[in-house]
Amino acid sequence: MAKISQRFSQTVAPTGTTFVVGILDTDICGPSQPRVMGVRGEMVHNSGSGWSPVYVTDNLSLMSIGFLLGRPDDAVIWRGPKKNGMIKQFLTEVDWGELDYLLIDTPPGTSDEHISAVQYLRATGLTGALVVTTPQEVSLLDVRKELQFCEKLNVPVIGVIENMSLFVCPNCKTRSEIFPATTGGAAQMCKDLSVPMLGSLPLDPILARCCDDGRDFLAELPASPAVTALKDIVDSQ
């Protein structure tokens, strides 16, 4: 969803507490987390205890197929069984150490990656799914399917976040509706399906640039509308 850093951990955690977080990028065909986290080009190492994830900070580690490709632009053309095998390896053969949280970034839809992750984690006490959408109906159509997927597989829905709900001009701070919520947006969908609506994040081009460059927008843009909205969502939980 968004880059998580040590600073974010300290924001979420009680005073004096730092969480140890692992991020698993299960988007096999389009791994983006290495770039977003600023560790593009890093390599994973194999040892007697398994693969070692890439550490972004002392308390934040990441595993992605992006680290195993010869070049960032290499295409991964795999059928379902090979994807499933790779996700199983990520979950069972990576030396994550002692984690407080393992966050799994999945691609859109209800494909092999989602089924594999739920299947392999079912016995571990899966906390739930955090679902992200944008306001327009084209996105909500897919998200409704995702919520139905969670219901059928008994995955609790932590809540829904509406991303890019408004555009906030970085100069004049004027708010504009880039993606019109013709059917009421995420709020109406959550009301109809009786799932929690956690909040909305505005579209911020500077934040997008930070993600492209692998920079920590929470540290660089602490007063931006997007960071303020994100902190409000965290505080509300």
Could you tell me if 88 and 200 lie in one domain?
A: no
The per-residue pLDDT for 5 is 35
CA distance 96 to 99: 7
The per-residue pLDDT for 17 is 66
Kindly write down the DSSP assignment for every residue of 39-79, as one continuous string. Answer: -TT---EEETTEEEPEEEETTEEEEEGGGGSSSTT------
Q: Which of 126, 146, 180 is the last residue of a domain?
A: 126
Could you tell me if 96 and 174 lie in one domain?
A: no
Could you tell me if 224 and 150 lie in one domain?
A: yes
Reduce the DSSP state of residue 81 to 3 states and report it. Answer: helix
Could you tell me if 59 and 175 lie in one domain?
A: no
Where would I find the beta strands (DSSP E) of the chain?
21-25, 45-47, 50-52, 54-57, 60-64, 101-105, 129-133, 157-162, 167-168, 175-176, 197-200
Could you tell me if 80 and 132 lie in one domain?
A: no
Q: How many domains does the chain contain in total?
A: 2
Could you tell me if 100 and 211 lie in one domain?
A: no
Q: Which of 111, 126, 141 is the last residue of a domain?
A: 126
Could you tell me if 158 and 190 lie in one domain?
A: yes
Beta bridge partners of 197: 160
106, 118 in Cβ contact below 8 A?
A: no
Could you tell me if 179 and 93 lie in one domain?
A: no
Could you tell me if 102 and 136 lie in one domain?
A: no
Q: Which of 67, 96, 126 is the last residue of a domain?
A: 126
Low-confidence ranges of the chain (pLDDT < 70): 1-17
Could you tell me if 118 and 135 lie in one domain?
A: no
pLDDT, tens digit, 9 for 90 and up, residues 74-130: 999 988 899 999 999 999 999 999 999 999 999 988 888 999 999 999 888 889 999
CATH code of residue 233: 3.40.50.300
Could you tell me if 218 and 205 lie in one domain?
A: yes
Beta bridge partners of 57: 60
Domain that holds residue 63: 1-126
Reading the block at residue 144, the tokens are 């409704």
Could you tell me if 68 and 118 lie in one domain?
A: yes
